[in-house]
Amino acid sequence: MTRGPLAQQRRGPAVADAEVGWVVVGRPRPLALVREAVAIAITQPVATGVAALITAAVCAVILATTGQAAASEQRVIASIDEAGARTLVFSDPTGRAEIAATGLDRIAGLPGVEWAVGLGPVTDVTAVPLGPAGQRVPARPMYGTLPPAIELIDGRTPQPGEALAGERAVHQLGLVDGAGAVAGDGYRGAVVGTFTAEDPLDAYNGGLLIQTEQDPEQLLRRIYVVARTTQDVETLQQAVPALLEVQERLQVAVDAPTTLVELQAVVAGELGEASRQLMLLVLIAGLTLIGITLYGATANRRRDFGRRRALGASRSAIVALVLGHTAFAAISGTILGTAIGTVTLQLLEGSQPAPSFTLGVATLSVLIALVAAVPPAAAAALRDPVRILRVP
């Protein structure tokens, strides 16, 4: 008598990983399961299409609603950052703190510091050819590398002892081509370039910045520290004073953007709360609809699953087939939904949220579909094949 696959499986493990036609026998093999899951998806276009459309709708709605809030939140946070939410200023307004310039390198090396620059006491200078009759402009020693807030628009980066002039200062000094010699109390040197400064250094566009080497004898009157994120501001507010070399620590004034940091947190929370609630409702609705659709699809195929079980397919193979079918539909729907949601968001907002947000929504949509498929998959795997295949 000819023995069937089930009898062969009972006889030994030789066919534990075998495959009969499109029927996976024994332990699930990834390649065979993927191939058969795709075949099931193609032979069940209605169930596959409905699951894909629901997943696409979930993904598109989340991107068009929560994504819109995320894009708005990014713009608001960026505008607050531009207003100085990451800038701390440590100053010596009385001159009695005597902040040594040598501590600046340690401050710039702190985790969370984007850049730091120190400025010394101000002095007045004039163009050398004009002498005392020339117009005076303020000049300050600058310690540290040229920060991103200062853009060099003409000339070159200064060496120690050389100076950069702000756009207004160039005209006031009467410098030709933005370069020339200047002199003042305790300083005589060359201007080798012109700069324009942005916040928080825009107040220095009307003066000179003299590149100076750090020396224990040199004193700072002001230190600008820009944090990488607003979350680093509070930490740096505590860490930077401990690294300052000062004579009188209590004379150091700290200007921290505490109000702006708190405002940023409040704005982010207010914008995100409503969108998160809507996203949760959309996900729950999508999970429910996909679960119902897949349960109906697996119920219609109960005899097919029963036949596979009778031929030796394991319960894990049945579960994997249902999940593979769902993954095929979910991925197809997610691609479609992401495209629709992205285009809609561009038309509504003219901008997009961070790529990580879009990728997260796409991944979450696929995961929701797979979670919804677990109960139908378990029900299909736990059914008794004998009862399913019994002829009434």
Q: Is position 14 within any domain?
A: no
Q: Is position 373 within any domain?
A: yes
- pLDDT > 80? residue 312: no
Q: How far is CA 310 from CA 7, 36, 37, 282, 315, in A?
A: 10, 17, 19, 40, 11
**Structural domain range at position 232:** 86-257
Last residue of a domain, one of 257, 282, 309: 257
- pLDDT > 50? residue 3: no
Highest mean pLDDT among 12-21, 36-45, 162-171, 285-294 belongs to 162-171
Domain count, the chain: 2
Residues 114 and 227 in one domain: yes
Q: Is position 9 within any domain?
A: no
pLDDT band at 267 (very low <50, low <70, confident <90, very high): low
Residues 138 and 249 in one domain: yes
- pLDDT > 90? residue 220: yes
Last residue of a domain, one of 257, 281, 298: 257
The larger pLDDT score, comparing residue 144 to residue 12, is at 144
Residues 236 and 95 in one domain: yes
CA–CA distance, 108 with 148 (Å, rounded to integer):
14
User: pLDDT above 90 covers what percent of the chain?
Assistant: 25
pLDDT at residue number 336: 93
The larger pLDDT score, comparing residue 275 to residue 352, is at 352
Q: Convert the pLDDT of each residue in 319-329 to its tens digit.
A: 888 888 888 88
CA–CA distance, 338 with 5 (Å, rounded to integer):
44
Q: Is position 159 within any domain?
A: yes
Residues 113 and 206 in one domain: yes
pLDDT at residue number 389: 59
Q: Is position 377 within any domain?
A: yes
- pLDDT > 80? residue 46: yes
Least confident among 72-76, 201-205, 261-265, 379-383 = 261-265
Residues 296 and 384 in one domain: yes
Residues 236 and 281 in one domain: no
Residues 233 and 348 in one domain: no
Average pLDDT over residues 190-210: 93
- pLDDT > 50? residue 19: no
Model-wide pTM > 0.85: no
pLDDT at residue number 277: 76
Q: Is position 15 within any domain?
A: no
Last residue of a domain, one of 227, 257, 287: 257
Residues 92 and 37 in one domain: no
DSSP 218: -
Residues 93 and 226 in one domain: yes
- pLDDT > 60? residue 385: yes
pLDDT at residue number 58: 87
pLDDT band at 10 (very low <50, low <70, confident <90, very high): very low
- Mean pLDDT score across all residues of the chain: 81
pLDDT at residue number 351: 74
Residues 55 and 30 in one domain: yes
Q: Convert the pLDDT of each residue in 57-113 to its tens digit.
A: 888 888 887 777 777 777 776 666 664 678 899 999 888 888 998 888 899 999 999
Q: Is position 292 within any domain?
A: yes
- pLDDT > 90? residue 209: yes
Least confident among 79-83, 200-204, 330-334 = 79-83
Residues 63 and 94 in one domain: no
pLDDT band at 183 (very low <50, low <70, confident <90, very high): very high
Average pLDDT over residues 142-160: 92
pLDDT band at 261 (very low <50, low <70, confident <90, very high): low
pLDDT band at 335 (very low <50, low <70, confident <90, very high): very high
pLDDT at residue number 165: 95
Residues 250 and 339 in one domain: no
Q: Is position 10 within any domain?
A: no
pLDDT at residue number 80: 64
